[in-house]
Structure 1
């Protein structure tokens, strides 16, 4: 792993995708959005607990939308990393391929 352009650990571990979410800096905006989704979800629960149901439903919808966006972003980035890994193995045919657990 040298940069976000190649976030796969090819030599130091038997788990080439270990810590991928934190090592790949292109995932950071998705993690921030996921944190905002969590904050909106907790705020929705608090709004429902204090009988502000309209606000709670609105915050719940916002939370669900942010959650879906962040998961989509993480999925797209994971697929990009898998493509980078496949390209690396095609360029290095003598390297022993480590099957990812994800």
Structure 2
């Protein structure tokens, strides 16, 4: 079962990372920053549409910076979760390691 100290669900699913971005609350600042980035991006589009190009460039630049920050945050948190998962598997050598799901070709 997922806990704040171990966000990987080892027992109840064959997809231990399903819902990781919503269950692991340490991801929330990154998701919020990405949300603000999207608002700035839409604002930049509106500024360009109304011929306020200098404002649009500023908002677009801010949007790009926040998107990189939010993406970096999510990447760092995912790596932290992977490290916790690896430590759990090292402590439970008899547990079967679940592989990430992949799309099958038809």
Give TM-score, length-normalised by structure 1: 0.95
Within the alignment, does 1:60 sit opposite 2:60 as a pair? yes
Within the alignment, does 1:87 sit opposite 2:91 as a pair? no
Name the CA distance, whole Å, in 1 between partners of 2:86 and 2:46: 46
Q: For residue 62 of structure 1, report the CA deviation from its aligned partner.
A: 0.2
Show structure 2 runs of 5+ residues with no match: none
Q: How does 1:1-102 map to 2 (within 5 A)?
A: 1-101=1-101
Where has structure 1 moved over 6 Å in runs of 4 or more? none
* Structure 2 counterpart SS, 1:31: helix
Task: Write the deviation string for residues 43-100 of structure 1: whole angstroms up to 9, x where unpaired.
Answer: 0000000000000000000000000000000000001100000000000111111123
Q: Mean alpha-carbon deviation: is it higher for 92-101 or for 38-47?
A: 92-101
Q: Kindly indicate whether structure 1 or structure 2 has the higher relative contact order, using CA contacts under 8 Å at least 6 residues apart.
A: 1
Q: For residue 5 of structure 1, report the CA deviation from its aligned partner.
A: 1.7
Give TM-score, length-normalised by structure 2: 0.92
Name the CA distance, whole Å, in 2 between partners of 1:34 and 1:92: 36
Show structure 1 runs of 5+ residues with no match: none
Name the CA distance, whole Å, in 2 between partners of 1:57 and 1:101: 40
